[in-house]
Amino acid sequence: MSNTLFCPALFLAAPASGQGKTTITAALARFHQRQGRVVRVFKTGPDYLDPQILAQASGEPVEPLDLWMAGEAYCRAKLYAAAQVADLILIEGAMGMFDGEPSSADLAATFGIPIAIVMDVKGMAQTAAALATGLANFRDDYTVAGLIANHCGSERHADLIRDALPQSLPLLATVPREAELALPERHLGLVQAHEVSETLERRFEAGADVLAKTALSRLPEAVCFTAATLPTVQRSLAGVRIAIARDAAFSFLYDSNLRLLEAMGAELRFFSPLEDKRLPEAEALWLPGGYPELHTAGLAANGSMLASIGNFFQQGRPILAECGGFLYTLTGLTDLEGQRFELLALLEGEGAMRGKRGCQGMQTALLPEGELRAHAHHRSRCEVNLKPIAHGRRQRHPAPGEAIYREKGLTATYLHLFFASNPAAIAALFRGEMALQAVS
C-alpha cells in the first residue's frame, strides 16, 4: 500500500465552547452516512461523552486525537488508518479554535485539514462575519473552508452574514434555532448516548435534513494523509485478566485504551457494579470514570459487589481507579441532592459534588511505573486521609495537579490516563509490579 492516501476531510472548530460543534458534526456525519458513505469521526482532545454521540451518528468508532496527549505520530497513524476505509473524515475541535496547547488550529494545521468555523450567531449579524474573518486570518498555517452559522434566525439574518463575508470565506450552511436539533446536556457536558438513543436519532435525522440543503451536502476537498511508524506493541499483559467496570455509572472508557490492552495480550472482562453481585475472575481491576454521583444509591445498595471488590483489594491485587472510580473507592460520597452514601471504603475519605465548579485540564501522571499523559475533568471535591504518592504535573502552571494515592495494590486519582502514552507503565501497573516490590 502507498505511504500516502487521499480522503475528503473537514475540521469543525469554533470561537468558543457551546457553539454547537457536536450538534453540527453529528448531523453532518449522519447526512453522509445516509448517502452510503463510510464516515470516520475524531474528537480533538480528551472527551468521553462527545465520542459516544458521534459514534452513534456515524455508525463508526470515534477516537480522540490530541497532539499533546497522544503525540503527532499516533495522530498521523490514526488518520492514515481511517483514510484507508473512509469516504469522509471529520474532526470535531475542542473549546475555541486557538484554546489549549496544542490547539484545534494546531492539529488542523499539522495535518493540512481545512477548517469549517461553527459559530452561534444568535444576537449578531455582520459581527459574525467579522469574527469569522478574524479567525480565518489570525494565522497563515491553516486554511478555512467557510462559516457554518448556527442558531440563525431567518433567511434575512443569513443574508446579512453572507453579504458581510469576504469572497474567500463562504457561508457553508445556516442552521435554524430549533430545539429539536440541540443535544441534551448535564453537569459534565452532553448526556451519554445510550441514555437518550431514540431522542438522538430524531435529532441526527433532523440535522441531516437541514444540512442536505447546504454546501455541506457535497464532500469537502481531499486531504493527503501519510503513514506513520509506531513502536511495536509488546504482549506484556498476556495471561492477565482485567475486570473492567462498565455500566451507567462507569462508562468513561476510551476504545483506544481498551484495544491497546487487548493488543498487549490482556483478556478484558466487563462487569456492572450496579447489577452484578461479584467481580469476574481476574488478576487486575479497573474502575474508570463516569457518573457514580447519579447512581450512588444503587452502588451503595449492592453490598455483595462492595464486599467482592473489598476482598480483591485486601488481597493486594492491582486496581486502577480513575475519577468516578476514585470516588467509588472512598468511604462515602455526597450526591448533587446532598445525600451521603457509604461506598467501598478502600481509602479513608469523603467525596462530594459541588455544582458547576470543578477542575479540568491536561496533566502528566507521575506514577512509580512511569509518566503517563492524562487529563482531569470533574465537578466534585474530596478529602482523603492518606498522603499522596505524587501529584499530576500541569502543562504550564507550576502548582501541583491532581493527587495520586496508592494503598496496597490500589492506584487512585482524579486523572484519566491515556494508555498509549506509556504502554510499559500501564503493563507494570496492571501486573502490580510496584505493589509486589513494596511488599517484598
* Bridge partner residues of 391 (DSSP): 403
Residue at grid coordinates 473489598: 310
Is there a catalytic annotation at residue 152? no
Distance of CA 137 to the CA centre of its chain: 29
C-alpha cell at 247: 455500566
Q: Using alpha carbons, list the distances in angstroms from residue 43 to 51, 79, 94, 243, 367.
A: 7, 12, 8, 27, 27
Instruction: With H, G, I as helix, E, B as strand and everything else as coil, classify residue 145.
Output: strand
C-alpha cell at 320: 486502577
Euclidean distance between CA atoms 28 and 20, whole angstroms: 12
Can you give the C-alpha Rg of the chain in angstroms?
23
C-alpha cell at 33: 452516512
CB 318 within 8 A of CB 408: no
Contacts of 157 (CB under 8 A, 6+ apart): 121, 125, 149, 174
DSSP for 312-380? Answer: HHHTT--EEEETHHHHHTEEEEE-TTS-EEE---SEEEEEEE-TT--EEEEEEEEETTEEEEEEEEESE
Contacts of 2 (CB under 8 A, 6+ apart): none
C-alpha cell at 207: 440535522
Name which of 136, 99, 130 is nearest 116 in CA terms.
136
Strands of the sheet containing 370-378, edge to edge, are 267-271, 241-245, 284-287, 319-322, 410-413, 400-407, 390-394, 359-367, 370-378, 416-417
Q: Which candidate in 7, 75, 323, 382 is catalytic? A: 323
Euclidean distance between CA atoms 59 and 86, whole angstroms: 12
Q: Environment class of residue 134 by beta-carbon count within 10 Å: exposed (0-12), middle (13-18) or buried (19+)?
A: exposed
Question: Would you name the residues annotated as active-site residues?
Answer: 323
